[in-house]
Structure 1
């Protein structure tokens, strides 16, 4: 979480939203929603909220239903939810907390209490986000690491399986990287890895797409809800982008500049199938790209 945090306030009473906005707008960016449906839309819209203040008693879709939907969606599940309610019975608070909320504030709204609770939870989220980055970020390149890739692929594979949507994976290797390392030394190799990582990440524009370093000179990109046409377009952009970096490679048998080979795989997951099926297909496509002369991509679908 960088810069000013974003708070989403949800209440079917416009006056309550006005009170919350007035209490928080000096320190935070504040979004407001008058109903649950709009709250779910704003929770997914960029920039996503860092914290949600959620009224319990709302028509059509109450706060408990909204919270359940938020926690079910991997894209919103980690957003902290604070319930606001005039219901102060023990079972009401227990219900809210059991659904995944981190706090329960009893109405009427007291601005000073809301400010203090929000401040504390935003600080906790900043700490959690920092720890998450440390465990899921590749320290050399700054992009996601293998652990993050595996976790994310698992989540998006399950979604694609459930919704019967295509999911694509691009497996990427830097061509002749061992020869590069041997010639330019490990500091030069590290700089090359960082440059390639930045280039790959710059090609990705959708928040749902994830680029990660798998280890050594290997990278991968998960593309949810992406058919083969979109995946191959991105693969070519990545290939061309690395070439345009003009990184000299004096020991390459393929090209005088650093190049990459890419294997693109697209499937609609079958019931009960594991994500390893997509990984294996992308690896097979990458093998064909390297066998076919490198500095190119190959596609495999099913």
Structure 2
């Protein structure tokens, strides 16, 4: 069910732009041109996720629509053509998300950025660390308007405990002066375990000494704010740092994911397997390393075309996810896949691989009115203490044996391989 956006705007041209912008973000959009329209709409049963509110309406020339919408608990962005300080202060005195001057086309780009953030921010945790209850509550209130998941701590030591228990925390906003552990010490401790691409840190201080900003940055903080700060600057700093983390996540995902099947690629598989393998060996967890290859894949491409071949690769990835839950899966390249899978014992591990092979061998993959049949060959090594590279090579040799001896089978490394 899409979230609903209420657009309050007397200019039909601007309302249309915002409506299109909202629809592009996935919102179901309702437009109101007057305060009377707003009141009629809000008397209905529709629940709105957010609203954009024009400050000046024909029947509400002085921002009256803002309090009307806010009274229904709808998070709101104010759009205004007025730039005077009195209007700005009047808007910011109310619990709005933000206000945007209607100066140029950038206003709409900024609005899109805010609304997109309101949808995404629920997945981002922010920890506020301050021993002052009033200062802490002020920051918490600002963050909640932007839909962040907010956590609190009264000193650095407690903050470290909260971070350890909540991996969803992506940002820490910390005051400098605190008992037990101050903000700079906390920043240093966080950086011992969490890099900049994992958690962003914003330092805050009310002290006039300019050296504190440099000390925060040198100890691993990403940004600094001096108390008292205005909400606009606060939101800009928070948004920019959270967006930077999202951008890094997207870059890392692109670098580690096979574009076609959405499985990890060779690089990601090797990195993850190098971490997981020693743990399984140390804890005596039964596991297997397996290689999968699609039989006669070139023939599928030659017969049906490369788009059909791509579709087959996607289907194999789907079947792997279905049958091998809990396993580390990857597409190594071409038609070859790899698996690192823990289990109860060798029989169970073998059974899961063979179930995958069997179901693929009887599947019929529809493509442009045709039914493509296919099979896979699998090479597997169980519970080896060898290096990752050696195990992948052993599984690859077993796969080669399977393909040389009839295909559509699971071949175990070291068995009947002359």
* TM-score normalised by the chain length of structure 1: 0.68
Q: Distance in 2 between matches of 1:14 and 1:171?
A: 57
Distance 2:189 2:354 in 1: 43
8 Å CA contact 1:285, 1:298 repeated in 2 = yes
Partner in structure 1 of residue 392 of structure 2: 279
Deviations 1:57-110 (Å, cap 9, x if unpaired)?
Answer: 675894432332234xxxxx731321435486366314422xxx4334456786
Give the C-alpha shift of residue 217 in structure 1.
Answer: 0.7
User: 1:216 maps to what in 2?
Assistant: 334
Change (3 A) 1:177 1:93: same
Number of corresponding residues? 274
Q: Unpaired runs of 5+ in structure 1? A: 72-76, 250-255
Q: Distance in 1 between matches of 2:366 and 2:136?
A: 58
Q: For 2:132 and 2:173, locate their aligned partners in 1 and report how far apart those are by CA, in whole Å.
A: 13
* Offset of residue 280 of structure 1: 1.7
Distance 1:234 1:22 in 2: 51
Q: 1:65 is matched with which residue?
A: 189
Counterpart of 1:252? none
**1:22-171, aligned counterparts within 5 Å?**
22-32=141-151, 34=153, 35=158, 36-43=160-167, 48-49=168-169, 51-53=170-172, 55=174, 62-71=186-195, 78-84=197-203, 86=205, 89=212, 92-97=215-220, 101-105=221-225, 111-156=231-276, 160=279, 168-171=288-291
Distance in 1 (alpha carbons) for counterparts of 2:232 and 2:353: 51
Q: TM-score, structure 2 length as denominator?
A: 0.52
Partner of 2:10: none
Instruction: Output one character per residue of 1:122-176: Cα deviation in whole Å (capped at 9) or x when no partner.
Output: 222333333334433333333333333334334545x649976767533211123
Residue number in structure 2 paired with 1:185: 305
Aligned-partner SS, 1:264: strand
Gaps of 5+ in 2: 1-115
Q: Is the contact made by 1:265 and 1:282 (CA closer than 8 Å) also made in structure 2?
A: yes
Matched, 1:297 2:413: no
1 CA distance for matches of 2:333 and 2:360? Answer: 18
Structure 2 vs 1, CA of residues 227 and 201 (structure 1 numbering), >3 Å: closer, same or farther? Answer: closer
Structure 2: how far apart are the matches of 1:110 and 1:210?
47
Q: Structure 1 299/130 Cα, relative in aligned 2: closer, same or farther at 3 Å?
A: same
Shift of 1:112: 4.2
CA contact (8 A) 1:172 1:286 kept: yes
Q: Is the 8 A contact 1:227 1:266 kept in 2?
A: no
Distance in 1 of aligned mates of 2:404 and 2:268: 29
Pick aligned residue for 1:246 from 358, 364, 378? 364
Equivalent residues of 1:154, 1:275 under 8 A apart: yes
The Cα of 1:190 is off from its aligned counterpart by 1.9
CA-CA distance at 1:287 after TM superposition: 3.5
1:263 aligns with 2:379: yes
Asked if the contact 1:96–1:104 (Cα under 8 Å) also holds between the matched residues in 2, the reply is no
The Cα shift of 1:177 comes to: 1.8
Q: CA RMSD in A?
A: 4.2
- The answer as to whether partners of 2:128 and 2:140 remain within 8 angstroms in 1 is no
